[in-house]
């Protein structure tokens, strides 16, 4: 018996072929956009935001998300990874290679004192805080030099005043702090096992 295709069957097959073609074209576009994003991130000296990428490459939010997914998949076999900080996306060397970098380029390491890290931690986890609050938590006087280093790095800023005697300035972390530690937001800070010890009287 000879097979015959009804017009309805032909329409379904034609529609399926068209949909498959559109899907392939969409994926090809996303693949191309992912490579353009990679080029821009390599060339840029600073992270690029969603808005930056959409503007530079004239693409929609959906196209951007698909391109980023493809870029992440392609980088999975690379020494680089796609990082996102408070300032936007950037390409960075995977953490698994950090020991090699430390051995070959020790001069790239920045030595941060324990006192500086403790001070920064109190500000990051309990902000906004005053200098007196930090001293209360740490149990020692906060060195002006430590605060100056944090200000010079752009990791902390003064914003507002505490409604108490002398109206001391309130300290906050900045987007530069998040960038330096590879964080997109404060929500990504690792939990502190002794967080209960960081108590600041409000």
DSSP 98-165: HHHHHHH-GGG-----HHHHHHHHHHHHH-SB-HHHHHHHHSSPPPHHHHHHHHHHTSEEEEEE-SST
pLDDT of residue 102: 77
> Closest Cα to residue 157, out of 182, 141, 178?
178
pLDDT of residue 195: 44
Q: What is the pLDDT of residues 142-186, one digit of tens each?
A: 889 999 999 999 999 999 998 888 889 999 999 999 988 888 889
Q: What is the dihedral of CA 73, 74, 76, 78, to 10 degrees?
A: -170
Taking the alpha carbons at both ends of the chain, their separation in whole angstroms is 87
Closest CA relative to residue 112, chosen from 145, 75, 74 = 145
List per-residue pLDDT tens for the chain, 202 residues long: 455 555 555 555 555 555 655 655 667 788 999 999 999 999 998 899 999 999 999 999 999 999 999 999 999 989 999 999 888 999 998 888 878 887 887 765 567 888 898 999 999 999 999 999 999 888 888 889 999 999 999 999 999 998 888 889 999 999 999 988 888 889 988 877 554 455 444 4
Q: Are strands 88-93 and 80-85 parallel, antiparallel or unpaired?
A: antiparallel
């Amino acid at each position: 018996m000879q097979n015959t295709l009804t017009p309805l069957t032909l329409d379904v097959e034609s529609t399926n072929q068209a949909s498959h073609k559109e899907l392939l074209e969409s994926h090809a576009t996303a693949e191309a956009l992912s490579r353009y994003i990679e080029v821009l991130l390599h060339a840029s000296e600073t992270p690029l935001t969603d808005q930056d990428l959409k503007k530079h490459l004239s693409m929609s939010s959906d196209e951007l998300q698909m391109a980023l997914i493809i870029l992440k998949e392609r980088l999975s076999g690379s020494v680089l990874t796609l990082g996102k900080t408070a300032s936007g996306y950037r390409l960075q060397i995977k953490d698994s290679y950090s020991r090699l970098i430390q051995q070959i380029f020790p001069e790239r390491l920045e030595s941060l004192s324990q006192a500086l890290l403790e001070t920064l931690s109190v500000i990051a986890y309990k902000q906004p805080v005053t200098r007196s609050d930090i001293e209360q938590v740490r149990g020692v006087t906060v060195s002006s030099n430590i605060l100056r280093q944090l200000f010079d790095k752009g990791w902390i800023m003064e914003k507002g005043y505490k409604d108490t005697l002398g109206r001391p300035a309130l300290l906050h972390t900045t987007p530069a702090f998040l960038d330096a530690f590879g964080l997109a937001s404060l929500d990504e800070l690792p939990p502190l096992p002794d967080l209960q010890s960081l108590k600041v009287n409000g």
